Amino acid sequence: MLHITDQIIIQDWELTEQFTRASGPGGQNVNKVSSAVELRFEADRSPSLPDPVKRRLRRLAGRRWTKEGAVVIQVSEERSQARNREIARDRLTALIKSALTAPKRRVPTKVSKNQKRKRVEAKKARAEVKEGRGWER
């Protein structure tokens, strides 16, 4: 089980881990041990996530979201399979936590009439300065 918050707990059946051989640190160990982790979370079918959170998670996951509605996280940073597994689970937890917070609604603002007037006046003043630079023929 993966505890996200007190209300959201991801069950083991929702997570699938696959181990492959990794490139990178490990020397000859790389050729023998499958230390890279591919963590797959079936987000679309998850009963523990509300629909708005699923939608935000889909947007945040980007390329990590599959057509089947799963989030795939790949980690091959460490030599240890257990450490890579831990990193993958931490990343998934962080991604879901960021999807839990709803973005603030943007309140559109207008430029005040006074600001518009000041802008036009500044343009006119600048135009006069430039006009005064010209040499007479």
Residue 110 lies in a domain: no
For all residues of the chain together, what is the average pLDDT? 87
If pLDDT is split at 50, 70 and 90, which confidence band does 107 have?
A: very high
Asked whether residue 47 is assigned to any structural domain, the reply reads: yes
- We report the CATH number of the domain holding residue 20 as 3.30.160.20
DSSP 122: H
Amino acid found at 127: A
What pLDDT shows up at residue 122?
97
Residue 75 belongs to a domain: yes
Position 135 pLDDT exceeds 80: no
pLDDT tens per residue, range 17-43: 888 887 766 667 667 778 889 999 988
The pLDDT of residue 109: 92
Cβ neighbourhood burial of 11 (10 Å; 0-12, 13-18, 19+): exposed
Buried b or exposed e, range 45-55, using 16+ CB within 10 angstroms: ebeebeeebbe
Residue 17 sits in which domain range? 2-100
Number of domains in the chain: 1
Q: Is the pTM of this model over 0.95?
A: no
Say what the pLDDT of residue 30 is: 67
